[in-house]
Amino acid sequence: MFKLPSNVQYRVFDKNFKGSTGKYLIKDDKAKAEEVQKNRNAICAAQGAKEIAIVRQVHGAEIYYAEKSTEIGFEPEVDAVYTDKKGIVLSIQTADCVPVLIADRVGNVIGAAIVDGRVHFKIF
């Protein structure tokens, strides 16, 4: 089994995380931008990061390269995100899909992807 590099960390922020209301995207006007920003700031504080890149899941095949925080209301519509920048949290929200976290052996590149029942990977 692959050992996670010491400079990479992960955490699941579910309903047990008391630092936010759990709203990180504006969906159907159920959250205001101020609430979303406060929640994103709480994630950054909990992870010791300055930036957070959140994406919107679309069940597609697009991947987003994160260099800085994504803007509220303009999150990329993709199913995977990666970065080689330090101090940035990669965030993917899941419901019935499986999150896959990826890191190279030394922690210089990290990624997160959503995998549903329709996606399969194979090395040839």
Cα 50 to Cα 58: distance, rounded to the nearest angstrom: 26
For residue range 70-100, what is the model confidence (pLDDT) as tens digits?
Answer: 999 999 999 899 999 999 999 988 777 778 8
Ranges of each domain in the chain:
49-115
107-118 pLDDT, tens per residue?
Answer: 899 998 887 655
Dist. CA 95–CA 68, nearest whole Å: 25
The tens digit of pLDDT for each residue in 9-68 reads: 888 888 888 888 888 888 766 789 999 999 999 999 999 999 999 998 888 888 999 999
- Comparing 102 with 69, which gets the higher pLDDT? 69
> Across the chain, where does the E strand assignment appear?
51-54, 63-65, 80-83, 88-91, 98-103, 110-115
Torsion-angle region of 84 (φ positive above 0: left; ψ -120 to 50: alpha; else: beta): alpha
Per-residue burial over 86-101, b if 16 or more Cβ lie within 10 Å, else e, is eebbbbbbeeebeeee
At 35, list the tokens: 């609430």
